[in-house]
Structure 1
Amino acid sequence: MSSTEPQDITYNFKAIEKKWQDNWLNNATYRVSMESNREKYYVLEMFPYPSGRIHMGHVRNYSIGDVVARYKRFRGFNVLHPMGWDSFGLPAENAAIKNATHPARWTYDNIDYMRNQLRQLGLSYDWDREIATCNPKYYKWEQQIFLEMYEKGLVYQKNTTVNWCESCHTVLANEQVIEGACWRCDEMVDAREMNGWFFKITDYAEELLESLNQLGGWPDKVVTMQRNWIGKSTGLQCDFPVDGFANKETLSIFTTRPDTIFGVTFMSIAPEHPLLDTLLKDNPREGEVRDFVRRIIKEKQQQSNQDFTEKEGIDTGCFCINPFNGDKIPIFVANFVLMAYGTGAVMAVPAHDQRDFEFAKKYNLPIKPVVIPEDTLVQEKEMEEAITGRGVLANSGSFTGSDSEQAKQAIIDFAKSENIGDAKVTYRLRDWGISRQRYWGAPIPMVECDICGTQPVPVAELPVTLPEDRGAQQNDCAPLHQRPAFYETNCPKCNGKAKRTTDTMDTFVESSWYFARYTSPRFTESPLNSSEASHWLPVDQYIGGVEHAILHLLYSRFFTKVLRDLGYLNIDEPFTNLLTQGMVIKDGSKMSKSKGNVVDPSDLISEYGADTTRLFSLFAAPPEKDLEWNAKGVEGCFRFLNRIFRFVQAHLDTIKNGEVITSNDLNDTERELHRKTHQTIKRVTGNIENNFHFNTAISAIMELFNTLSSLSSDQQKDALGSSVIREAVDSMLILLCPMVPHFCAELWSTIHNDRFIDDEQWPSWDEDAAKEEELTIVIQVMGKVRSRLQVSPDIDDATLEEMALKDENALKFIDGKAIKKVIVVKKKLVNIVI
């Protein structure tokens, strides 16, 4: 510790942070509006669910976003940086029941508490744009978007099999069913056919896939996940007639391997396949098959990923006919076939599909090789696994002898000419079921009339609000279908008695367009002010967890395209750049209450301050990597800020008296600090601009401070003029300000007589000043260091090689031996190989 950093100067972070938080709030420092003279920049972190308390994941996510926002302001951008609350959903109902309160009361109390926590972190939000998705002023516009989508044919109803909890009176997602029971009440879940509302996201499947190519600012892994989720496949669709049925029943299949269609030896159908009832009518195997189906459906509810390790099936006793060769094919119900994907029926070719191969071996079904690797003889009895690669067709009628890849299109063309099939493009993506049978969600604005059928609520009558009538208890969370005061209404068409739709929307709907509403959150004429939206969108930098890489981001992309087609937006994609930050890890696992390894940010802020908490979350790891919790790291960040604070206070007069450096007339000590300052500006700017590696940016600033502190020690302080000290301190404070804003605002105001650091510009560097006067070049002989050279930074490789070969210390180890080659690593080393 330098004697120039006195220990009696106190960094009172509590007073400093409270002062600047009040200042920013009272002066609306970060309020923003459209401007034509500054380039816009929209930075957004995924908004939180108001659970009641922020956690370290929040701190990391929002600190990253705040650094970007503050940095861009320093660079002259007009920055939009809003915050809001994803505030509908089951957790609020759970908490309301548990705490004997109402979901709205619980939600808004949590919002108030968490808003205060976020303000304590010093986050530079435009709080005037705050939204809460449970507010009718927000979901009114969501309901209008729903109605406009309905008018365009993008919304429809259909029956579907769902996980139903009778106790909670709601549909559950697969992820909400744990070992067959409801995650909320632990009651067993049943499969139920229900009528639900769907968005036709599949209408946009091809565009959603194609426009992934525009997302150059997204992580490759996220783009790949989205591409796989959409899952485009091209192949053959054809019908296999069911044998023995007078009404010509068929099983429709789709395959990407038409070259194997002559090798089909059985058919697998999903337990929920609609043809199953017909197949089992007057079937002696009906009881056995239905018992199997009930068991498999139950097991599916207990396995959210529906990846069955044990492949099981049961023979229905029925057959279908392969239209290509007339083979009679047994029909099995199989646990691995999903009704939600494809047609719910899969042609099984065990010779060329490993899953089918194992199934056929288990149930002693035929295995018929039809694609044979060239120059290979394959017999069924000798096969130990399926052949999945390219080959030559065998046992395939007129196609025998054809190359399998070429035969795919030829077989499709043949099927089309014979009217037994055709080429088809399919997608793994399924339409988005948005119906939820719960109270705390946005009501779907539709009415059911016995005379007029399904009718939309007139736009003029929006919003359809949640009823606030409560039963005997204040925490009455009864779903809407149990509330006559809500659903009893009149038909908007005939004015007769009718019933409101009692489903509420999936909460993913709210989060699929909130980023657009931020551009005009108080607009009262339509969902979006088109001029504001066209000015601010797309979001330039979106930040959030990789766990949202598929559904939230996919739905947001879908909604953006829909809002474009409805005339509200003029963009195709919502987020130009995406940063998926890593998790916060403690004791080897993600921080969570269930693991008992949570560190409360409020405790950290109380003990060390918001700036230290922010600094640690940014310094401990690059943003895309997991952050390993380290209490000593927090203490180290706190010590670093204290050292800077003490240094500035101890040198305040010197710093204040410093003038702008106007010449190169510096002594060696001054030139060293001047050079380090400009090198640091360059490094920090590059670290932020290129990859948001704030950890290395902070490290560079720490190096600058260490140089400043060392050169200002008692032994050397007379060699430093006030101008280079002032330059170093000023640069350091602006470079650090995005990370630790209260701290830097306070010191800047102290040095610059109450000027605001927010009004300053990001420092620029002088390339000549940043150049090293000499480089140290290592000379190796056979990979071992034998000497060093001090050279000009501008030296070329040829000159460097020549100097190395003349170096006396290196020559001792060459000892007259033949030189095989010389390897020059630019500006670092020369390795002589003998």
Structure 2
Amino acid sequence: MANYSVKTDEKWQKRWDETKLYKFNKENVDKKLYCLEMFSYPSGSKLHVGHWYNYGLTDSWARFKGMQGYEVFEPMGFDAFGLPAENYAIKTGIHPYDSTMENIRTMEEQLKKMGAMFDWDYEVITCNTDYYKWTQWLFVKLYEKGLAYRKEAPVNWCPDCNTVLANEQVLDGLCERCSSEVTKKNLTQWFFKITEYADELLEKLDGLDWPEKTKLMQKNWIGKSTGAQITFDIKNHSDKVEVFTTRPDTLFGVTYVVLAPESPLVEKLTLPEYKEAVINYQEKTKKLKEIDRLSTTNEKTGVFTGSYAINPVNGKEVPIWIADYVLFSYGTGSVMAVPGHDERDFQFASKYNLPIDRVIAGYTDNDQLPYTGPGKLVNSGEFDGLDWEQGKKQIVESLSSRQKAENKVNYRLRDWLVSRQRYWGAPIPIIYCDNCGTVPVPEDQLPVELPYDVDFAPDGKSPLAKHEGFINTICPKCGAKAKRESDTLDTFVDSSWYFLRYPDNKNVNEPFDKEWLSKMGPVDKYVGGPEHACMHLLYARFINKALRDMGYITFDEPFTSLVHQGIILGPDGNRMSKSKGNVISPDEYIQNHGSDVFRLYLMFGFAYTEGGPWSDDGMKAIVRFVDRLERFIETFTETEHGPSTNEIGKDEKELNFILNNAIKSITQDADKFQFNTSIARMMELLNGLYQYHSNVSTANMAFVKETLKKFVTILAPFAPHFSEEMWERLGFEYSVFKEAWPKFDEAALVKDTIELAVQINGKVRGKIEVDSQMDEKAIEKFALEDEKVQGYIEGKSIRKVIVIKSRIVNIVVG
């Protein structure tokens, strides 16, 4: 009777721990494979299906690679700072540190019960001082390099979370965490200069083994545009309007200029009689979501400032408007409007009766305005008749001579805003001194510890600003009284470098040893959700490159190869959430069937990179598969001393074919995270074993045992506890994970005979089995002589016989 259960899990987890089976061996660093799952946030006290789907299945891939001879480094830790713990503290009164550490202890135990081969000696917890000391060190190094700076800027503000959000944390105008409507607010904030690396972040993407969709998302987010920056003078005013355009060939068609409502120029340029309308429009714009402002379908609105810009190519005065479809955070915050050749400008000009001029003639007669395609310049003075590409070049050259234009590359990417007005994060290591100005905390004074006794009720200011013991300090330069920065760092800063700390997590003198990290980095396989494409993954690439340029690391990219797991949805097809009541806990399934059955089901029931709605309909098939294999091994151990021979007959060749086909397919599929097909091949192999062993009196027991040995070996990464148990029952030495991954025998995949379908006038009428070495003529003769085929062709003339070897014979009769 089958008896695999959680007790089996406990037995082998204890044995693995006692024998330190999964300890990373530094002596084998030349064979290292750094496999990393995105670490979790301990906002809840229990693992859910999503954790299992990420960690359990990636662990199977890592085990598989370990059996192939790699020295696998698979660490685990916790992304422990952040809003959820602070919000929970506000709600319950339980301190964020206490709730976070309690959750971590629970999750550590659950992860260990998963049976993954994490080496816990390398654990990192980002809210501990031995980690965030080095997060602060990273900030200081970026500051010293000119890559961290402070400025006042309009920022995304979540009124419910009472904190600033990066652009990437605003989804459709809403806070990604609490879904509150995000507003704009002017604050003095700290930024990381990620734009300094825009070109390299873009150019190096193509060399990465990453999903194409993710690479495209980053390319679009970086948003490189090549064009020109044009300077418009302003009538009766010393200020100027700078615009970036990819179409300088249309400059003669500019009939108005538009400023973003947030632009500082608006106040300067608005004439008194227009001020009331402009202010009202600005207030109205503040309430709009960014996505709505950029929408191509929404009606375009705007207000005239009363001022005029002067077109640098022809001296024409054009009105300066403000409109919500221009954002101050994009480009220069100003655009030149060419309604004859831009659909958005055309709609705006049509609504407000502004001129619409043609300056590009298409290559066909059917080019009604607005025309946005290529063509020749018209109504463009000395540039008439030029092809549009020539026109771009010559117009910019002409204006450059008068310092009115320059070729420029623009990016959608904005610098990374890292200030947060919250408590539960790493304090920004900056001191403000009346004598010395902004002073970074010296390395020997790090970490700047987060005080425990803080009132973290949100009021729009950093809770640390209210803590006298924290905020008041001494300037490390002059010794005068000074103030600490009260903001904390965005938690994405913590996760932007954690992969560098894992291999050297106990280093107290530096964040990591450069020589050791050069051997351990970069991460060879990184697995996590696609939702991090334009945040964590982009930030980690930036930090990696900045540290490389500062001489601390030697490699260009943090993650050589990336896999995104799909999302396991609730049974209702929606994302799992407590509020929807559709969260699936793995606990009951594991208690009833053992962790390996649950792991196998996650592999078999879903395509790994796709996921899908939860259904346990297929769980029974996995339970049956495990039970059948265990029963087969029990039966075999009772009969294994039966007949054995070195002779290989037809039945042995058939089973050997199934075995080697399974090894070949699983080796290829598992490497690509195609676990569902891997499990299917194992089920086929088990069926083959039952078929072969059905006649115990003729079965070759030595052959069966060798087949079982290889079977359990290839099953081991996918069902580690169960496989260890079966390995022991078969009498092999501990552990199955010390066994090398088997290689398939190509010769065994060449069958002595092959089965061919026989068609007569396109309809399948039977099958024939022929020698695999037969040539086409011999196969044709064999097919025509087949008794069943004879019944269909008797009395008819054979017009043609088509033989497609190893597939089909098609007989055409008249």
Of 594, 598, 603 in structure 1, the residue corresponding to residue 583 of structure 2 is 598
CA shift for structure 1 position 711? 2.2
Q: 1:413 to 1:730 in 2, by over 3 A?
A: same
Residue type matched to 2:412 in 1? Answer: R
| Distance (whole Å) between structure 1 residues aligned to residue 640 and residue 615 of structure 2 | 35
TM-score (norm 2): 0.93
Deviation, structure 1 residue 294: 1.0
Matched, 1:739 2:728: no
The answer for the alignment partner of 2:560 in structure 1 is: 576
Aligned residue number for residue 612 of structure 1? 597
User: Which of 349, 352, 365 lines up with 2:338 in the alignment?
Assistant: 349
Q: Flag the 1:510–1:152 CA change in 2: closer, same or farther, 3 A.
A: same
CA shift for structure 1 position 531:
2.2
Aligned equivalent of 2:667, options 676, 685, 689: 685
- State the Cα distance separating 1:218 from its structure 2 match: 0.9
Whole-Å separation in 2 of the counterparts to 1:589 and 1:347: 44
Is the 1:199–1:432 Cα contact (8 Å) retained in structure 2? yes
Do the aligned partners of 2:156 and 2:182 also contact (CA within 8 Å) in 1? yes
Name the structure 1 match of 2:466: 482
Q: How does 1:572-721 map to 2 (within 5 A)?
A: 572-585=556-569, 586-655=571-640, 663=646, 665-689=647-671, 691-713=672-694, 716-721=695-700
Pick from 761, 769, 784 the counterpart of residue 790 of structure 1.
769
* Aligned-partner Cα distance in 1 for 2:561–2:296: 33
Say which SS state the counterpart of residue 150 (structure 2) adopts. strand
1:276 paired with 2:266, answer yes
Q: 1:305 to 1:131 in 2, by over 3 A?
A: farther
Q: Distance in 2 between matches of 1:641 and 1:613?
A: 11
Aligned to 2:255: 265
Report the Cα offset of residue 506 of structure 1. 0.8
Which residue of 2 is the match for residue 426 of structure 1? 410
Give 1:168 deviation, angstroms. 5.5
State the 1:301 CA deviation. Answer: 7.0
C-alpha contact 2:29 2:519 (8 A) present in aligned 1: no
Q: Which amino acid aligns with 2:67?
A: F
Q: 2:382 aligns with which of 398, 401, 404?
A: 398
One-letter amino acid matched to 2:654: E
Question: Offset at 1:362?
Answer: 2.0
Q: CA deviation at 1:316?
A: 1.5
How far the C-alpha of 1:828 sits from its partner, in A, is: 2.0
Could you say if the C-alpha distance between residues 13 and 513 of structure 1 is closer, same or farther in structure 2, counting changes exceeding 3 Å?
A: same
Task: Note the 1:77-92 alignment, pairs <5 A.
Answer: 77-92=70-85
- Among 365, 380, 386, the residue aligned to 2:354: 365
2:197 to 183, 193, 204: 204
Q: Distance in 2 between matches of 1:32 and 1:672?
A: 40
Matched, 1:334 2:318: no
After superposition, the Cα gap between the structure-2 partners of 1:174 and 1:374, relative to the gap in structure 1 and judged at 3 Å, is closer
Q: Output the amino acid matched with 1:116.
A: E
Decide whether aligned partners of structure 1 residues 802 and 250 sit closer, same or farther in structure 2, where only a CA change above 3 A counts: farther
Q: Distance in 1 between matches of 2:727 and 2:761?
A: 53
For each residue in 1:641-695, what CA deviation from the matched residue of structure 2 results, as whole angstroms up to 9, or x when unmatched? 1111122122224458898x8x5x2233233222322221122112123x22111
Q: Deviations over 1:178-198 (max 9, x none)?
A: 998978899986532111111
TM-score w.r.t. length of structure 1: 0.91
Aligned to 1:295: 284
1:193 is paired with a residue whose SS is strand
Q: Please tell me the residue identity of whatever aligns with 2:690.
A: S
Preserved contact between residue 592 and residue 598 of structure 1 (Cα < 8 Å): yes
- Aligned to 1:489, what secondary structure does the other structure show? strand
User: Equivalents in 2 of 1:331, 1:170: separation in Å?
Assistant: 34
**1:549 counterpart residue number:** 533
Q: How does 1:63-78 map to 2 (within 5 A)?
A: 63-78=56-71
Residue 692 of structure 1 aligns to a residue whose secondary structure is coil
CA deviation after TM superposition for structure 1 residue 109, in Å = 0.6
AA aligned to 1:748 is W
Which secondary structure state, in structure 2, belongs to the residue aligned with residue 10 of structure 1?
Answer: coil
Match of 2:486 in 1: 502
CA shift at 1:92, angstroms? Answer: 0.8
Identity %: 44
Could you tell me how far apart the structure 1 residues matched to 2:247 and 2:781 are?
64
Find the residue that maps to 1:717 and give its secondary structure.
coil
Using the alignment, how far apart are the partners of 1:144 and 1:604 within structure 2? 45
| Secondary structure of the corresponding residue to residue 411 of structure 1 | helix
The verdict on how the C-alpha distance between 1:377 and 1:806 changes in structure 2, with shifts beyond 3 A counting, is same
Correspondence for 1:460 among 444, 447, 450? 444
Q: Does the CA-based 8 Å contact 1:348-1:356 persist in structure 2? A: yes
| Displacement of 1:525 | 1.5
- 1:239 aligns to 2:231 (yes or no): yes
Residues of 2 paired with 1:477 and 1:416: CA distance?
47
Structure 1 residue 33: deviation in Å?
3.1
Deviation of 1:326 after TM superposition, in Å, equals 1.7
- Separation (CA, whole Å) in 2 of partners of 1:823 and 1:147: 74
In the other structure, the counterpart of 1:410 is 394
Distance 1:695 1:465 in 2: 48
Say whether the 8 Å CA contact 2:300–2:323 is kept in structure 1. yes
Q: Is the 8 A contact 1:489 1:499 kept in 2?
A: yes
Please tell me the residue identity of whatever aligns with 1:720: A
Distance in 2 of aligned mates of 1:579 and 1:742: 25
| Cα pair 1:180 1:302 within 8 Å, conserved | yes
Q: Could you tell me how far apart the structure 2 residues matched to 1:98 and 1:477 are?
A: 18
**Residue 423 of structure 1: how far off its partner (Å):** 0.7
Give the SS at the match of 1:299.
coil
Query: Secondary structure in 1 aligned to 2:322?
Result: strand
Q: Distance in 2 between matches of 1:725 and 1:650?
A: 12
8 A contact 1:667–1:719 mirrored in 2: no
Report the 3-state secondary structure (helix = DSSP H, G, I; strand = E; otherwise coil) of the residue aligned with 1:827: coil
Q: CA deviation at 1:15?
A: 0.9
In the aligned structure 2, how far is the partner of 1:418 from the partner of 1:345?
21
* Structure-1 residue corresponding to 2:759: 780
Relative to 1, partners in 2 of residues 1:593 and 1:799: Cα closer, same or farther, differing over 3 Å? farther
Query: Residues of 1 paired with 2:494 and 2:429: CA distance?
Result: 15
**Match of 2:663, as an amino acid?**
I
Secondary structure at the counterpart of residue 73 of structure 1: helix
User: Quick check: 1:656–1:752 contact (8 Å CA) kept in 2?
Assistant: no
Root-mean-square deviation (Å):
2.9
Q: Judging changes above 3 Å, is the alpha-carbon distance between structure 1 residues 823 and 236 closer, same or farther for their aligned structure 2 residues?
A: farther
Native 8 Å contact 1:669 1:719 kept in 2: no
Q: Is this contact kept in 2: 1:34–1:532, CA < 8 A?
A: no
Write the letter of the residue equivalent to 1:729.
L
Note the C-alpha offset of 1:240.
Answer: 0.9
Contact 1:140 1:462 in 2 (8 A): yes
Alignment match of 2:706 (pick from 723, 727, 732)? 727
Gaps of 5+ in 1: 1-8
Task: Say which SS state the counterpart of residue 687 (structure 2) adopts.
Answer: helix
Deviation string, structure 1 residues 184-219 (Cα, Å, up to 9, x no partner): 89998653211111111111111111111211x111
Instruction: Go from structure 1 to structure 2 and tell me whether the alpha carbon gap of 1:176 and 1:416 turns closer, same or farther (over 3 Å shift).
Output: closer
Q: CA deviation at 1:444?
A: 0.8
C-alpha distance 588-797 of structure 1, shift in aligned 2 (>3 A) = farther
* 1:111 matched to 2:104: yes
1:803: how far off?
6.8
Distance 1:151 1:478 in 2: 25
Q: How much does 1:288 deviate? A: 1.1
Aligned to 1:6: none
**1:372-407 Cα deviation digits (max 9, x unpaired):** 2124276xxxx4x62111112111111111111232
Q: Deviations over 1:605-663 (max 9, x none)?
A: 1222211111111111221112332212122211211111122122224458898x8x5
Report if the CA contact (8 A) 1:537-1:574 is conserved. yes
Mapped partners of 1:70, 1:180: distance in 2: 43
The change in CA–CA distance for 1:509 and 1:792 in structure 2 (over 3 A counts) is: farther
Tell me, in whole angstroms, the C-alpha distance in 2 between the residues paired with 1:561 and 1:472. 35
Instruction: Give the 3 Å change call, closer, same or farther, for CA 489–154 of structure 1 in structure 2.
Output: same
